[in-house]
Amino acid sequence: MRILVTGASGFIGAQVCAHLAYGGATVSAFCRSEPPAEARAADWIVGDVTDDTLCAVRSRTAMPWFIPRRS
């Protein structure tokens, strides 16, 4: 199953991505910045949740997880 996680570079988002990948899911990690070195997501997408990139990615995933960072 392909799962989309937004906020993937944050502390919680990175842990969620790692846990899902360890469990066998194919993870699409979505964030505003480049992936950290320890990123375990198979598919890292740099973008903004307010633009069309998220809509295009969402259409290719079975389950979205939205984990925004508090600003």
In tens, the pLDDT along 35-46 reads 777 665 568 888
Tokens of residue 51, six digits: 């633009």
Write the pLDDT tens digit of every residue in 9-41.
Answer: 888 888 888 899 899 988 888 888 887 776 655
Residue 24 is predicted with a pLDDT of 92
Alpha-carbon span 61 to 37, nearest angstrom: 24
What residue numbers bound the domain in which 23 lies? 2-66
- pLDDT score of 71 more than 60: no
Report yes or no on 71 lying in a domain.
no
HEC string of 4-51 equals EEECCCCHHHHHHHHHHHHCCCEEEEEECCCCCCCCCCCEEEECCCCC
User: Do 38 and 9 touch, CB atoms closer than 8 A?
Assistant: no
Report yes or no on 18 lying in a domain.
yes
Report yes or no on 13 lying in a domain.
yes
Residue 11 is predicted with a pLDDT of 84
Total domains in the chain come to 1
Residue 33 is predicted with a pLDDT of 81
Residue 49 is predicted with a pLDDT of 75
